[in-house]
Amino acid sequence: MNANLVTPVIDNFSDAKVNGLINDSGDWDHEVLQDLFLPADIDRILATPISPHIKDTWYWKGDSRGIYSVRHGYHMLTNSYLTVDPHLQFTEWQRLWVLPILPKVKNFLWRCMRNVLPVREILKTKHVWASGGCPFCTYDRETMEHHFCLCPMVNQVWNGSIILNNESLALMLNRVLCGPSLGEAACMWAIWNARNNLIWKEVTFSSIGLKQQVASYCELWNLNYSKVANTTNVVQITSVWVPPQVNVDAAIFSDGVGYGAIIRDHTGRFVSSQCPD
């Protein structure tokens, strides 16, 4: 049974407390309940016993004892909670956690799949004022699906492939995470950073620059996080000194520049890197 009330929340009462539904005798106030709630909810509320002499406290609804644990919270977020919302059907959590990418990018993808990334259409559902639509084109709604896949300004970053087939972003990622998916993670991270740079710093971008950024992320993550790179301990000893290698790339935008640099030692192994977010 769904523990949540089905009556829509009235904005003016969003901060109201339960004691406003209880009369002076310490019982549920039937008239107030009938004014505010749908019949299905009224029956459930009336079936809830009142204990006016017991001090109020917090109980975690994911546990029969009301005790919260990280384990319960995780399972609620990734399983039972997701089945409530048909748009949140991402299931490939294990594959997401082992992707060889920066932890903050995993957090970003997690927010995408939890539908809490602050794009404008999501902000509106949380009653946060957010005017305007897509920051990249004239489309009047900034949804995650449009922002990351359907927007013509970012579509080229995916190399022209029709990556979204009448499905949600979560379902699309479910599908692509079954195979090599570093590129998809890099695309989304680059698009998200381009969006934030445009909105907050007024830095414009080009599809070519964005593609270069994606390639740079992939190379950096491969070097820094892939198991092969991290577990290679073989050092070839040579008497001939070979200079270290430095790979650099840069792009000029209308009001700024982007750059990336990778330094390798004489064996070609990664030493250090630098690039803007």
For Zn ion, the binding residues (CB under 5 A) are: 134, 136-137, 139, 151
Nearer to Zn ion, 132 or 244 (CB): 132
Half-sphere exposure of 76 (CA within 13 A, CB side): 10
Nearer to Zn ion, 26 or 118 (CB): 118
Longest dimension (CA), the chain: 92
Nearer to Zn ion, 134 or 185 (CB): 134
Nearer to Zn ion, 22 or 198 (CB): 198
Least spacing, CB of residue 198 vs Zn ion, in Å = 11
Least spacing, CB of residue 142 vs Zn ion, in Å = 7
Residues 165-197 as b/e (b if ≥16 CB within 10 A, e otherwise) read: eeebbbbbbbbbbeeebbbbbbbbbbbbbbbeb
Question: How is 134-169 classified by DSSP, letter by letter?
Answer: -SSSS-S---HHIIIII-HHHHGGGTT----SSS-H
> Which of 208, 210, 194 shows the shortest CA–CA distance to 135?
194
Least spacing, CB of residue 111 vs Zn ion, in Å = 20
Collect all residues with Cβ–Cβ distance below 8 Å to 128 and sequence separation of at least 6: 118
Nearer to Zn ion, 134 or 191 (CB): 134
Question: In the β-sheet with 245-253, what is the strand arrangement from edge to edge?
Answer: 245-253, 256-264, 270-274
Tell me the three state secondary structure of residue 258.
strand
Least spacing, CB of residue 79 vs Zn ion, in Å = 33
Nearer to Zn ion, 200 or 241 (CB): 200
Alpha-carbon distance 267 to 255, whole Å?
Answer: 38
Q: Residue 48 carries which side chain, given as an amino acid letter?
A: T
Record the tokens describing residue 187, joined without a space. 């695309």
Q: Residue 90 carries which side chain, given as an amino acid letter?
A: F
Nearer to Zn ion, 139 or 270 (CB): 139
Nearer to Zn ion, 82 or 151 (CB): 151
Record the tokens describing residue 232, joined without a space. 């290679």
